[in-house]
Amino acid sequence: MLKQIRQVIKEQVEYRQLIYQLAVFELRGQHQNNFLGSFWQFLSPAIQIGIYWFVFGIGLRGGADINGTPFFLWLVLGIIPWFFIAPSITQASSSVYQKVSLVSKMNFPVSVLPTIRIISNSQQFFIMLGILFVITLLYGVKPSLYLIQIIYYICCMFIFLIAFGLITSTLATLARDFQVFLQSIIRMLFYLTPILWDTSLLVNSFGEKGQLIENILKLNPFYYIVEGFRDAFLGRAWFFDDMIYTLYFWIITFTILYFGSKLHIRFRNNFMDYL
């Protein structure tokens, strides 16, 4: 039952050096023709953050805090991990059908292609994470022991993205329309994940019905990750305080990894036939 998972994990470990080298190569090639080069990795998200803060923080909320946290700080704590999650999902899903012809001529497994895309995006994420740490200090939020669990949530994010990238890259190769469908889902999840708004408003406004809707929204694994980042930086809770939700996240993650590994290994020798 776990044979496919072991094989995929073994390939990631054995080719880790190649994954890193190709990720660096892709990263250097992304902005080499732009005048500002890699600076766009930070300028583009900064512009988006500024727009969201102005529209949702100043325009709709009038600058009001969220549970005692300034809206801008609350926003960046959620949106910076999302700026890594969203492009990693879409790029990982297209990684196989864009590069499979190259892999057929080289000696490394196709399963590493989604991981390469995810790793190539991680440099921007870790730099933005450092900027996020500075922002929290500027807002007077002192580092606490809770911050150590940011390592846990980063691991959650990477493991889930690799598992999810494995299954989506296979499906996108078998049926190209899946890529368009996935992009629509990602845009929808941006608004269903507590990035721009606080889901506790549902409970305050609609009582039990609002609580039910919030629980449904929590079925989204990215909800767990985004709120985990806020818990770590703001010192709100430990990940083990809600073991049921933590267990749910890992069950979903390993279920996706299982079916993704099984589907990938079943079809990867025939990927060229679908291009």
pLDDT in tens, the chain (275 residues): 578 888 999 989 998 888 888 888 877 766 666 555 566 667 777 787 788 777 776 766 666 788 888 888 898 999 999 999 999 999 999 888 877 666 666 677 888 999 999 998 888 888 889 888 988 998 888 889 999 999 999 999 999 999 999 999 999 988 888 988 999 999 999 988 988 888 888 877 788 888 898 889 999 999 999 999 999 999 999 999 999 999 999 999 999 999 999 998 888 877 766 56
| Predicted pLDDT of residue 23 | 85
d(CA 136, CA 16): 33
| Predicted pLDDT of residue 223 | 95
d(CA 128, CA 144): 20
| Predicted pLDDT of residue 48 | 79
Residues, the chain: 275
Residue with tokens 């939700």: 245
d(CA 262, CA 185): 23
Bridge partners of 66?
69
Q: Which residue, 52, 124, 119, 50, is CA-closest to 81? A: 124
Q: Which residue, 153, 150, 163, is CA-closest to 251? A: 163
The answer for residues whose C-beta is within 8 angstroms of residue 210's C-beta and 6 or more apart is 201, 202, 203, 204
Domain ranges of the chain: 42-274
| The model's pTM | 0.90
| Predicted pLDDT of residue 274 | 59
| Predicted pLDDT of residue 118 | 93
